[in-house]
Structures are given as C-alpha cells and as structure tokens.
Amino acid sequence: MAAAAAAATACRSLHLFLAVLAVSVSGVLSKSFTITNNCGYTVWPGILSGAGSPSLETTGFELPPGASQTLQAPAGWSGRLWGRTLCTTDGTTNKFACATGDCGSGAVSCGGGNAAPPATLAALHGSGGGMDFYDVSLVDGSNLPLLVAPSGASPGAGNCAPTGCLVDLNAACPADLRVVVTSSSAAADVNADDVVACKSACLAFGSPRYCCSGEYASPDTCGPSAYSEFFKNACPRAYSYAFDDATSTFTCAGGDTAYTVTFCPGTNSVKSSSPNSGAPGDLPVINGTMAYASGDQQVGAAAATPSTSRSVVVLLGAAVLVMLAGGALS
C-alpha cells in the first residue's frame, strides 16, 4: 500500500511538473503582436499566415479609433498583416467588403484571404535560427500609414529597429497611381472621388520594368524608378520596389521580441472620420529623416505648422510629376 501511495504521489508530482513546464515553454516559444489603431477612423486588420505557419486566433477583426488588441503567435511564425479601410456590409447580400485592403472573404475574418492591392503590408518571417525578419512593404502600393516597432529584444540583436511608412500618401499620390472612391461605392464617411489608396507603378501599369519581372527579374536589371522614389522619399525604411532590400529588411532575436503594429502612428487625435483627413500629432524620426503627414508636426526639430507639413508631402508628389515630365522614366 505504501508503495502504491508513493507511486501515486510521484505521478501527481510529474503531472504538475509537466504542466508548469508547458506553461513556461509556451511563454518562451510564443510572441505577442499588439495592434493599435491611432487613425481617426475604424480599421479592420487582416492577417494571413505564411505557408507552414498555423493560423492565429483571428484572421481579421474590427479595430475602432484608439483601440488595441494583442494576439499571440508561436515562435517561428511567418505571415503578413495589413489594415482594411472603408468597410461595409451589404444590406442585401449581407457580405462584408472594404474599399481598400479587402481580402475577398465576404466576412470580417479573412479566413486565408490575402490583401487586395494597393495595401500597406507588414510582414514577419520567423526563422529556424532564432531570428525574426520583418519589413513594411509598399511594393503593391499604400492605403494607410503603418509602423512596426519591436520591444524586449536583446541588445545588439540584429538590425532591430522600428520600420514603416508614417505618411498618408493618398493626397500626394501621382494622378496615374490614385485609387478613388466612386459614387456607386462611396462609404458614408468619404466623398465620391476621394483618393483612398495609392498604387505602385507595377500595379498601375503591369510593366516588367516596374514589376521586376521577365528580363528585369534581377537586382542588376531592375532598379528604382521615379514612381518608386516617390514612396522611398516619403518612407525611407519601407520597401518601395521588389529589390529594395538593403534599407528595408530588419531583424530581431525571435525569442525575446514582441511587436507593436500601429496604424496612423503619427496621429494622436480620433476626431477625423475620413482617411483623407489629418490630425495634429507627433511623428518619430525614421532613418534620420523627418516624416510628415498631413497636419502633423515633426519631432527632433522645430515644430512645423500644419500648412508646412502638408506642403512637404505635396512637394513629394510634385517632384515625381516633374521627373516624369522630364523623361526620368525613359
């Protein structure tokens, strides 16, 4: 009897040890993503897991202005995240759809659907070597500002730094790259013909020269264009074309790092109801370059007036138009 009791006690102790170990390991082998909406309008994040990575607890949800939601992902997880805007549910079909970033699922959850371009994309690639590779891409265009910021990383753990596009590019978008809301699809909080997204040249024209495909499918034959420079000048740490790797890929020690993904990181106000509206706020410095958004101030220098900030963004678009007129793309 004594031996049986001892065996039972040992078994219970083993089960308790394994339970504690499982909890401890799950904490080490997972990472958190905190998704925050600083825009003055609702954003519907979409999430797509990469090949071989499990789906997260949600693949899409509604995120009102000022709200945050934290998700857990297993170590080594790879996938992408983006924001959908101007979303509505059809009263007749009951199908959910978004003017930008729509994933085609007909529901708030994307269920494995990808973002319809143009959309600002945040991508994370977990590796077997214990490092996370992450980036923000404008290769297919942009629909809203987005910042990815790591936290808790070991000192000196790779090129571990914030990256993203802090600028709302819609107002300054070159005319032939603009996506506008039509009168038949305009949401209640925007006007018909408002610019709601900015295409890349590849998406707009489908040319191998801009898409880095065909005879241009290598870094030696496909370089930046005046169109991609429009995006790069505004967002120096984001991918502006397919081979823009040198300044656009970042790494952190995977086991120690959590990530915050912020929509409209330079906007502190939630008073605006339209993606085209700016609001006062502070913007961080990216690559030593001041980042501007409509109506936003700069950090690390004398504050710019709203009119000054708007002028800088518009000048980016004007510079592209001048380059195009001068034959810079030939």
Answer whether residue 17 is part of any domain.
no
122 belongs to a structural domain: yes
115 occurs within a structural domain? yes
Quote the pLDDT of residue 187: 57
Question: In the chain, how many domains are there?
Answer: 1
Residue 168 is assigned to a structural domain of this protein: yes
Average pLDDT over residues 248-256: 85
Residue 154 is assigned to a structural domain of this protein: yes
Q: Is the model more confident about 279 or about 174? A: 174
**Assigned domain for 189 exists:** yes
Average pLDDT estimate for 45-65: 96
When pLDDT is cut at 50, 70 and 90, the band that residue 2 belongs to is low
- pTM for the predicted model, two decimal places: 0.74
pLDDT at 255 over 50: yes
pLDDT surpassing 70 at residue 208: yes
Q: 285-289 contacts: CB < 8 A, separation 24 or more?
A: 286/162, 286/163, 286/164, 286/166, 286/235, 286/236, 286/237, 287/236, 287/237, 287/247, 289/236
- pLDDT over 80 (residue 60): yes
Position 185 confidence tier, pLDDT thresholds 50, 70, 90: low
Percent of the chain with pLDDT over 70: 68
Residue 254 has pLDDT above 60, yes or no: yes
Q: What's the chain look like in SS3?
A: CHHHHHHHHHHHHHHHHHHHHHHHHHHHCEEEEEEEECCCCCEEEEEEECCCCCCCCCCECCECCCCEEEEEEECCCEEEEEEEEEEEECCCCCCEEEEECCCCCCCCCCCCCCCCCCCCEEEEEECCCCEEEEEEECCCCECCCEEEEEECCCCCCCCCCCEEECCCCCCCCCHHHEEECCCCCCCCCCCCCCEEEECCHHHHHCCHHHHCCHHHCCCCCCCCCHHHHHHHHHCCCCECCCCCCCCCCEEEEHHHCEEEEEECCCCCCCCCCCCCCCCCCCCCEECCEECCCCCCCCCCCCCCCHHHHHHHHHHHHHHHHHHHHCCCCC
pLDDT in tens, 274-286: 344 333 223 334 3
Distance CA 260, CA 217 (A): 33
Lowest mean pLDDT segment, chosen from 85-94, 153-162, 275-284 = 275-284
Q: Among 18-32, 166-180, 215-229, 238-252, which stretch is predicted with the lowest mean pLDDT? A: 18-32
**What is the rounded average pLDDT of the residues 241-265?**
91
125 inside domain: yes
Mean pLDDT lowest among 27-41, 57-71, 192-206: 27-41
CA distances (Å), origin 45, targets 39, 101, 134? 12, 9, 17
Asked, for residue 197, whether it belongs to a domain, the answer is: yes
CATH number at residue 262: 2.60.110.10
Amino acid 30: pLDDT? 79
Q: What residues make up the domain containing 198?
A: 30-279
